[in-house]
């Protein structure tokens, strides 16, 4: 959520640099619709159904049983949110992809409380500008 808000703050700069933002999550549209509305996001949230794109980026992990139990106790029923029985998630990640489809920045961190600053992303986009 904080990641989305941070991306929202830099959105006009991203657009001014000729780029766009999208956020991907394994959650079904009934959930992305609510998040999008609640945060009033200027960019799309895309449903990465059954984590197909996350799999291709090799970001997917299966939650260990003890974590699954903890999430369930909080009411976080990922099976319902993702429409699949397995409890899987993407590692938090931010990528910058250039016009040729090549990854120019990759921030992947197993610790969800560590994220790159949006200003770093702006720097990368600036360097890509022709």
Partner 1 sequence: MASLQSRLDEFKKAFESGAPPYNAPHEAIETTHRATAELKASGIENIALKVGDRAPEFTLFNQDHVNVNSADLLRQGPIVVSFFRGHW
Among positions 42, 44, 72, 83, the unique one binding partner 1 when judged by CB under 8 A: 44
Q: Look-up: residue for tokens 């799309």?
A: 44
User: What crossing angle do the helices spanning 29-39 and 2-9 adopt, rounded to 10°?
Assistant: 50
99 binds partner 1 (CB under 8 A): yes
Q: Nearer to partner 1 by C-beta: 12 or 67?
A: 67
Helix or strand holding residue 60 (H, E): strand 60-62
Q: Give min distance, CB of 106 to partner 1, in A.
A: 5
Among positions 42, 83, 86, 112, the unique one binding partner 1 when judged by CB under 8 A: 112
Q: By the 8 A CB rule, do 66 and 87 touch?
A: no
Q: Nearer to partner 1 by C-beta: 12 or 70?
A: 70
């Amino acid at each position: 959520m904080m990641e989305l808000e941070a991306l929202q703050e830099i959105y006009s700069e991203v657009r001014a640099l000729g780029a766009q933002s999208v956020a991907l999550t394994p959650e079904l549209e009934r959930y992305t619709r609510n998040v999008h509305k609640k945060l009033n996001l200027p960019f799309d949230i895309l449903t990465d159904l059954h984590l197909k794109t996350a799999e291709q980026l090799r970001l997917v992990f299966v939650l260990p049983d003890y974590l699954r139990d903890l999430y369930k106790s909080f009411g976080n029923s990922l099976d319902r949110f993702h429409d699949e029985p397995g409890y899987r998630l993407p590692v938090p990640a931010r990528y910058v992809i250039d016009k040729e489809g090549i990854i120019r920045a990759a921030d992947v961190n197993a610790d969800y409380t560590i994220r790159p600053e949006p200003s770093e992303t702006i720097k990368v986009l600036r360097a890509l500008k022709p």
